[in-house]
Amino acid sequence: MLFNSWEYIVFLVVVTVAFFAMPMRWRVPFLLVASYYFYMQWDWKFAFLIGSVTWANWEAGRRIADTDSQRARKAWLWMALVISLGVLFFFKYFNFFNESFRAAFEAGGMTYMVPYLPIILPVGVSFFTFQALSYPIDVYRGDHGPERNLTRFATYVVFFPQLIAGPIERASTLLDQFKERHRFDIDRFGSGVQLIIWGLFKKVVIADRLGVYVDEIYAAPELYDGSTLLLATYFFAFQIYCDFSAYSDIAIGSARILGFNLSKNFALPYLATSIADFWRRWHISLTSWFRSYVYYPLGGNRVSTLAWMRNIWIVFVVSGVWHGAAWTFVIWGALHAAYYVVQWVWNKLVPTPANPSWWAVLLGMLVTFHAVVLAWVFFRAESISDAWLVVTTILTDTGAMPDLGPSRFTAAINIALIVFLMGIQVLQSRGWISLYFSPSRFPPAMRAAGSAMLVCGIALLGVSSSAFIYFQF
Amino acid sequence: MASTPIITRLKRPALLLLVAIFAFLAVDRAVGALLREGLDRYFGLDQLEAVLLVGHSHVVLGVDKNLLERELGLPVANYARAGAQLDDRILMARHYARLHPDGVRAIVFGVDNHLFTASGLSANSYSQFYPHMGDPLVGPMLRESAPGWDYRQRQISHLARYDDVLLNAAIRGWMGNWNNAVGGQFKPDVLAAEVASGDFRHISIDDTQVAQMEAFLDESEQKGWPVLLAFIPTTAQWQAVEPEKAAQVEALLRRLADAHANVTFIDLREPWQHREEFFIDPLHLNAEGSREVTADLSRKIAPLIPGAQDNTQ
């Protein structure tokens, strides 16, 4: 059941009406059932998997809280880590490592006996394992108390708006909301619907349109010149942003209608003026997860410069691997780590003034954007050799006009939509248009009319629904 | 403290909802009407007593409407849609005739080797008719062909009836732009590779399609519409892919023409099919090719169309 489908809209309406109509004590169990129903639309068998991960982390959290023995606490935490990461490893990474070992053995002239396993990747596995795992770690650290109610904890793990592709929540931000009494609030309903409409517009009008061109070019990059590959890569940068942020917007809007607050996941990332700034704006919930559970435990920046650099590399490479079991994602993460270090060196050499001029800000945005775009090549390409071909062709063969595909009219619409998106984002950054429920300078009637215009845009320019890119992670 | 009555609390949101619904309907209907007008102009559905061209992308790209109008001295309605199959073309001819019951001067009906091939051109060519779903001829066809929810969405929103092709056509209709602006160059080696791999649309003669065509030609004879079956050129290499089947189709077209007093078969393949520089791919003409073929077409059809100026000198 895709967010960008009528089935989801009907599902959300039914769940909302039923949720607010039923007595308080039934609401959380009802959300649990609804969320499992939502997940089982993909593959009912994986409900057992998500149930196992839920139980393991809940049990670990309870046991950690109930024992005074540091050894036992550590053992229970390890149990949760092994089960959660074991599930993630088996379903997502087994074949990647297996095939990598096979290649290495065969290169060395040795026989490798472990067969390839036809494993189906459960949708959203990276998201729900991380969300579940954060709970026993928080209990172990004393950042959150144990949740005695399994139903409540299970609902926290599978809460349908953010189950498949985040935002990745923590017990402290979401779990406790299941204890609150939620009342239907017409203002929250209105703002949630507006955010859902904006998300749908970004998905079906911008991301899916750009995806048609990007898929065509990246399917056979050897057939195209540098300017075409460059255009496809720019398009991909906006496609993945619109696709992923659309999912987050629809998730946050859906939860808001039901009375829940999810974390902000994107904050105008292509207006970032540095790589550090970009990572404060892009996939914020994942960045925050890695910061809390990987970067800080490694020592964060309270270590020597060399150790800090090591920490940065570890976090970004792990983040790359989290996205996908392929070397292209590893390079994507490593590139961002390299950018981070380069930026650190640059800041040492050229201290940033307190009030930089407008052109310095613009230059920072452009440099950051293009660094991110370069890394996206590795994220999107089918293989490292394809990515390398794209990069080298862009750098060496950019004389001709790009191949705009079968319709120049469609290409013109695509470019106009990117300009429109960036225009909206500039207005959001200036506070004219609301960004995640922040105040807007436009009156409510104008905002309602604006949402109606977006629906018109979806009707006229939307293309056939396709799955969200981040579902594969 | 007394709580605010629910009616008072809902007043503002209800007003905002009304504003949103009104804004949506106003823009949807207004822009929808503008697009529909542009589309009708593009297809020439507003043209009275026009020479009607129906066909698919061969005709869209292969006939220069402005040039044909100048050559014939008559209005031309280029009602051709990419992906239009035989039944779509017949529907288009009937649609124009329904709009202008006494105004069908002649129908130039685009034909090709795949005219009677039932599948492979377009699985959802019906979607190109959505803007005209209110028409008593088009509506029933759409209700039958389109998935139910697909159809109902477009009943609600007029803008949802357009895709990029139709939107482009509507805008071009307002701008009066019928130019063939498609670029590219035919690559014989690419076609040869596709033929070698068997990855091409095979010719077949489907009896149902033939019967449909016969019924349409009977109807046109009865109504007194001159029908010119125009074979817009494709490349010689494409013609040579399945020569026996192509010959069967040609024979069938000639037999249909012979069987109806109002029908003429116009073969435009020679000499243009050998001019590779006039094609963007094996099937479609470029702007220069379309001008040459249009001039040839006008010379051949002018004597057959009442009121057309003599341009054979």
Q: Do A460 and B167 touch (CB under 8 A)?
A: yes
At residue A93 the predicted structure's pLDDT band, cuts being 50, 70 and 90, is: confident
Note whether B20 contacts A449, CB cutoff 8 Å.
yes
Residue B60: is its pLDDT beyond 90?
A: no
Domain assignment present for residue B287? The answer is yes
Q: B159 to chain A: nearest residue by CA?
A: A460
The full 3-state SS of A80-141, as one line of letters, equals HHHHHHHHHHHHHHHHHHHHHHHHHHHHCCCCCCCCCCCCCCCCCHHHHHHHHHHHHHHHHH
Asked whether residue B259 is domain-assigned, the answer is yes
| B109: β partners | B54, B229
Write out the two tokens for A294. 């990987």
Residues of chain B contacting residue A452, judged by C-beta atoms under 8 Å apart: 19-24, 27
- For the cut 50, the answer to whether the pLDDT of residue A343 exceeds it is yes
Q: Is the pLDDT of residue B1 over 50?
A: no
Minimal Cα–Cα distance from B29 to chain A, Å?
A: 10
Is B25 inside a domain boundary? no
Residues B248 and A16: their CA atoms lie apart, in Å, by 63
Q: Which helix (H) or strand (E) holds B196?
A: helix B188-197
Average the pLDDT over each of A98-107, A388-397, B87-96 and give the range with the smallest value. A98-107
Torsions phi, psi of B254, nearest 5?
-65, -40
Task: State the DSSP H helix or E strand holding residue B79, giving kind and residue range, or none if neither.
Answer: strand B76-80
| Contact B13/A at CB under 8 A | yes
Q: Which residue has the tokens 């460059």?
A: A230
Q: Which residue of A has its CA nearest to B161?
A: A460
CB spacing of B13 vs A187 below 8 angstroms: yes
Whether residue A30 is predicted with pLDDT greater than 60 in this model: the reply is: yes
pLDDT at A282: 95
How far lies A181's CA from each of A15, A25, A177, A413, in Å?
16, 10, 8, 46
Which chain A residues are Cβ-neighbours of B160 within 8 angstroms? Answer: 459-460
Give B45-62 as a DSSP string.
Answer: TT-TTEEEEEESHHHHHH
**Are the beta carbons of B17 and A448 separated by less than 8 Å?**
yes
In a domain, B248, yes or no: yes
The domains of chain A are located at: 6-184, 187-273+356-472
Q: In the structure, what pLDDT confidence band is assigned to residue A246 with cuts at 50, 70 and 90?
A: very high
B23 to chain A: which residues are within 8 Å by CB?
448-449, 452-453
**What is the DSSP code (8-state) at residue B273?**
G
pLDDT at residue A42, as a whole number? 83
pLDDT at A125 exceeding the cut of 50: yes
Q: Chain A within 8 Å of B20 (Cβ-Cβ)?
A: yes
Is residue A131 over pLDDT 70? yes
Q: Residue B279 and residue B286: Cα distance in Å, rounded?
A: 5
Is B46 domain-assigned? no
Query: Percentage of chain A surpassing pLDDT 70?
Result: 98
Q: How many domains does chain B have?
A: 1
A456 contacts B20? CB cut-off 8 A = no
Are the C-beta atoms of residues A183 and B7 closer than 8 Å to each other? no
Does the pLDDT value for residue A340 go beyond 60? yes
- Residues of A with Cβ-Cβ distance to B159 under 8 angstroms: 456, 459-460
Q: Which pLDDT does position A355 carry in this prediction?
A: 85
Please give the average per-residue pLDDT across A64-84, as a whole number: 93
B149/A448 Cβ within 8 A: no
Q: Is residue B154 part of a domain?
A: no
What residues of chain A, 385 to 444, have a C-beta less than 8 Å from chain B?
407-410, 413, 444
Here the CATH number for the domain that contains residue B100 is: 3.40.50.1110
| Euclidean distance between CA atoms A115 and A132, whole angstroms | 31
Collapse the DSSP code of B115 into the 3-class scheme (helix H, G, I; strand E, B; otherwise coil) and give the result: coil
A192 vs B239: which has the higher pLDDT = A192
Backbone angles phi, psi at B117, to 5 degrees: -85, 120
Residue A266, burial from CB neighbour count under 10 angstroms (0-12, 13-18, 19+): buried
Query: Which residues, in sequence order, are bridge partners of residue B267?
Result: B231
Percentage of chain B exceeding pLDDT 70? 96
Mean residue pLDDT of chain A comes to 90
State residue B115's pLDDT score.
Answer: 84
How high is the pLDDT of residue B82?
Answer: 80
Q: Which of B164, B174, B284 to substitute to test the interface with A, most A CBs within 10 Å?
A: B164
- Residue A50's pLDDT band (cuts 50, 70, 90): very high
Active-site residues of A, by number, are: 323
Domain region containing B207: 54-121+182-313
| Helical pair A327-349 and A358-380, crossing angle rounded to 10 deg | 160
Nearest CB to A409: which of B9, B16, B168?
Answer: B168
The answer to whether B20 contacts A6, with C-beta atoms less than 8 Å apart, is: no
Determine what percent of chain A is predicted with pLDDT higher than 90: 64
Best to test chain B binding among A454, A456, A458, A461 (most B CBs inside 10 Å)? A456
Q: CA dihedral defined by B135, B139, B141, B146, rounded to 10 degrees?
A: 140
Q: Which two tokens stand for residue A80?
A: 């949760």
Nearest chain B alpha carbon to A464: B163
- Residue A202 predicted with pLDDT over 90: yes
pLDDT at A387 over 80: yes
State the average pLDDT over residues A331-346.
Answer: 93
Say which DSSP state B119 is in. S
Is B176 part of any domain?
Answer: no
What mean pLDDT is predicted for residues B197-203?
A: 81
Give the 3-state secondary structure of chain A.
CCCCCHHHHHHHHHHHHHHHHCCHHHHHHHHHHHHHHHHHCCCCCHHHHHHHHHHHHHHHHHHHHHCCCHHHHHHHHHHHHHHHHHHHHHHHHHHHHHHHHHHHHHHCCCCCCCCCCCCCCCCCHHHHHHHHHHHHHHHHHCCCCCCCCHHHHHHHHHCHHHHCCCCCCCCCCCHHHHHCCCCCCHHHHHHHHHHHHHHHHHHHHHHHHHHHHHHHHHHCHHHCCHHHHHHHHHHHHHHHHHHHHHHHHHHHHHHHHCCCCCCCCCCCHHHCCCHHHHHHHCCHHHHHHHHHHHHCCCCCCCCCHHHHHHHHHHHHHHHHHHHCCCHHHHHHHHHHHHHHHHHHHHHHHCCCCCCCCHHHHHHHHHHHHHHHHHHHHHHHCCCHHHHHHHHHHHHHCCCCCCCCCCCHHHHHHHHHHHHHHHHHHHHHHCCCCCCCCCCCCCCHHHHHHHHHHHHHHHHHHCCCCCCCHHHHC
Query: What pLDDT does residue B4 have?
Result: 67
Contacts of B20 in chain A (CB under 8 A): 448-449, 451-452
Q: What is the average per-residue pLDDT within B122-135?
A: 86
Tell me whether residues B16 and A413 touch, CB distance under 8 A: no
Q: Kindly indicate the confidence band of residue A235, based on its pLDDT and cuts at 50, 70 and 90.
A: very high
Give the mean pLDDT of B246-261: 91
Q: Per the CB < 8 Å rule, is B23 touching A453?
A: yes
Is the separation of the CB atoms in A298 and A316 below 8 Å? Answer: no
Which of A246, A170, A179, A161 lies closest to A208, judged by CA?
Answer: A246
- Is A297 in the B-facing interface, judged by CB distances under 8 Å? no
From A187, A189, A456, residue closest to B27, measured CB to CB: A456
Contact B10 A455 (CB under 8 A): no
Test mutation, A460, A461, A464, chain B, max B CBs within 10 A: A460
A437 pLDDT more than 70: yes
HSE-CB for A391 with a 13 A CA cutoff = 17
Residue type for position B49: E
Residue-level pLDDT at A473:
53
ipTM for the complex? 0.80
- Residue pLDDT, tens place only, A416-430: 999 999 999 999 998
pLDDT at position B123: 67
Backbone angles phi, psi at B303, to 5 degrees: -65, -15
Chain B residues with CB inside 8 Å of A444's CB? Answer: 12, 16
Tokens representing residue A233 in the block: 């890569």
A24 touches chain B (CB under 8 A): no
For chain B, say whether A186 makes contact (Cβ under 8 Å). yes
Distances (CA, A) of A444 to A191, A193, B304: 10, 13, 64
Total CB pairs under 8 A between chain A and B? 57
**Are the beta carbons of B259 and B251 closer than 8 angstroms?**
no
Supply the pLDDT for residue A337: 95
Query: Residue A190 and residue B19: Cβ atoms within 8 Å?
Result: no
Query: Residue A320: what pLDDT?
Result: 92
> Which is nearest to A290 in space by CA: A354, A282, B206?
A282
